Amino acid sequence: MVGLLSLLGCAGERPANLGVHDGQLGTCPDSPNCVSTAEQRDSHRIDPIRGTLAQIRQVLPQMPGARIIREEDDYLYAEFTSRLMGFVDDVEFLEQEAGLVQVRSASRLGHSDLGVNRARIETLRQAVAALP
| Residue pLDDT, tens place only, 72-104 | 999 999 999 998 888 999 999 999 888 999 999
Q: How confident is the model at residue 2, as a pLDDT?
A: 43
Residue 18's CATH number: 3.30.310
Q: Taking Cα atoms as reference points, which of 35, 10, 29 lies closest to residue 92? A: 35
The C-alpha R_g of the chain, in whole angstroms, comes to: 14
Is the four-CA dihedral 96, 100, 20, 74 of positive or negative sign?
positive
Q: How confident is the model at residue 45, as a pLDDT?
A: 97
- Classify the phi-psi angles of 9: left when phi > 0, otherwise alpha if psi is within -120 to 50, otherwise beta: alpha
Q: What is the pTM of this model?
A: 0.88
Mean pLDDT across the chain, nearest whole number? 91
Amino acid at 18: L
Q: How confident is the model at residue 12, as a pLDDT?
A: 80
100: containing domain: 2-129
Q: State pLDDT tens for residues 10-42.
A: 678 888 889 999 999 999 999 999 999 999 999
H helices of 1-115, in order, are 2-9, 53-59
Q: Is the pLDDT of residue 4 over 50?
A: no
Total tally of structural domains belonging to the chain: 1
Note whether 7 and 81 are within 8 A (CB).
no
